[in-house]
A and B are shown apart, each in its own frame.
Chain A
């Protein structure tokens, strides 16, 4: 069913971002359709995080458009906070609220932002904590959890606002190798359920097997944008070939 209606839900048009004099993103253009699972790969410093942060306006783009549900969210009249409830984000460093328990972390947004009743918020939070397998840990504080557990709670927290798109910025890069699997497992499940996701990652196997699309970035430009088969199997650009060759060597 999800494959039947492919309508664009997010369009990034001519996105440019400067930090001071440096042009970090140069005319980024791409479209996200409902149910897309897009992996963004590329060398360190190529602007992947900056692009993701621009999409949910943690960084203000210098110019360009970000069209969500037909509206350019960079128009000053748009409510950024409301937009962000529709585009969630999961960070490399988890960023759980350290003054709250696991459960409170996941209830924060339903209660504070969506104005749900406590009991309803609790049910929402529990539902997503169960999904990520952290329902036993509701009374723990973030500093009492392992990295993998923290990241799963962070995913549950992001899901609790029921976003239409979820952005991931290297969700497994801060984890010990043995914990990477548990987080990728959760993400794979979300992908199978049809959640629209944009994932910046260095996990090439995950990008190849789980995503419906792969974007390769270099020096602030999208060099390659296609299916995993196209990008991994038959890259058009020399830069992509070099990048992938280096990765397969390491693997």
Chain B
């Protein structure tokens, strides 16, 4: 057996890819799934919490709603502070073992993983969404109200489309962070990339070589995600110019025909 063993670094890398390539890729798949689903659900949570946190209370709001609002605001604020203020690795332990001890729920490690990533991302996104909403020019909200929109309609048609566009980079950022940070879920034995790597490395005690491969896989995932998001951001920006409608200058048969080669440079 010893004769078959590689002797160089690259020899080991090739050996590990052959032996554990599919296990590592499977781990990478789990990592991606956790990161993407967690980010998506986290965004939805963040959106809901952020929107509720910016509901205005005026003199005209009735007392019952005011009290309800106070309670909900307190709960949401506590949620955001607690999940931003504790490490995800600890949250994973508390959720996974706590659900068993306190609620007698036998949650799978995977489910606990999804839960922790989503709820954690939600706490960060809530702040991002809140900031995004607050940063939209107050004049536009007033203009929306002045043409008869209520708060909900104003949010839906004017504020959120702009806020969401502005926080797109932050959503992308969260996805990249999640691709990397789901590695902490190995403490509750979620078989994501880090966990798969640790298992593979343990067999031949080739930690450096295995984690070198792991490193490359993580980087490919985050880099691809970052490029993809950049592309979507560009697509969302819209065109830089506009066409006049019914303008003689834009008319192909007009004085400046723009469908011939004349103006082309």
Residues of B within 8 A of A68 (CB): none
Chain A interface residue count: which class?
A: 35 or more
For B107-141 the 0/1 string (1 means CB < 8 A from A) is 00000000000000000000000000000010110
Q: How many residues of B contact A (CB 8 A)?
A: 30
Q: Within the assembled complex, what's the spacing in Å between the Cα atoms of A90 and B257?
A: 39
A137 and B148 within 8 A (CB): no
B59 and A60 within 8 A (CB): yes
Q: Within the assembled complex, what's the spacing in Å between the Cα atoms of A109 and B146?
A: 10
Q: Which chain B residues numbered 212 to 246 have a C-beta less than 8 Å away from chain A? A: 238, 241-246
Q: A97-B143, A98-B162 are in contact. Are A136 and B137 (CB under 8 A)?
A: no
Residues of A within 8 A of B246 (CB): 135-136
Query: Is B86 located at the chain interface by the 8 A CB criterion?
Result: no
Query: Is B41 located at the chain interface by the 8 A CB criterion?
Result: no
Query: Is A245 located at the chain interface by the 8 A CB criterion?
Result: no
A144 and B241 within 8 A (CB): yes
Q: A99-B165, A136-B245, A141-B238 are in contact. Are A157 and B147 (CB under 8 A)?
A: yes
Q: Within the assembled complex, what's the spacing in Å between the Cα atoms of A91 and B157?
A: 19
- Choose from B146, B158, B242 the contact partner of A56 (Cβ within 8 Å): B146
Q: Which residue of B lies closest to A154 (CB)?
A: B143
Q: Which of B238, B242, B247 has the most CB of A within 10 A?
A: B242
Residues of B within 8 A of A140 (CB): 242
Q: A99-B158, A112-B153 are in contact. Are A58 and B146 (CB under 8 A)?
A: yes
A99 and B148 within 8 A (CB): no
Query: Is A158 located at the chain interface by the 8 A CB criterion?
Result: yes
Query: Is A43 located at the chain interface by the 8 A CB criterion?
Result: no
Q: A58-B142, A139-B242 are in contact. Are A109 and B149 (CB under 8 A)?
A: yes
- Choose from A76, A95, A112, A144 the contact partner of B143 (Cβ within 8 Å): A95
Query: Is A88 located at the chain interface by the 8 A CB criterion?
Result: yes
Query: Is A212 located at the chain interface by the 8 A CB criterion?
Result: no
Query: Is B58 located at the chain interface by the 8 A CB criterion?
Result: yes
Q: Within the assembled complex, what's the spacing in Å between the Cα atoms of A14 and B162?
A: 40
For A202-219 the 0/1 string (1 means CB < 8 A from B) is 000000000000000000
Q: Which residue of B lies closest to A103 (CB)?
A: B245
Residues of B within 8 A of A89 (CB): 143, 146
Residues of B within 8 A of A94 (CB): 139
A96 and B243 within 8 A (CB): no
Q: Which of A58, A97, A114, A141 has the most CB of B within 10 A?
A: A97
- Counting from the closest, the 7 A-B pairs by CB-CB distance are A85-B148, A95-B143, A95-B139, A109-B147, A89-B146, A113-B148, A140-B242
Residue pairs across A and B with Cβ atoms less than 8 A apart, 12 shown, are A58-B146, A91-B142, A97-B144, A99-B162, A135-B245, A136-B244, A136-B245, A137-B245, A138-B245, A139-B242, A139-B243, A160-B147
List B residues at the A interface (Cβ < 8 Å). Answer: 58-60, 137, 139-140, 142-150, 153, 156-158, 161-162, 165, 238, 241-247
List A residues at the B interface (Cβ < 8 Å). Answer: 56, 58, 60, 76, 80-82, 84-85, 88-89, 91, 93-99, 101, 108-109, 112-114, 135-141, 144, 154, 157-158, 160-161
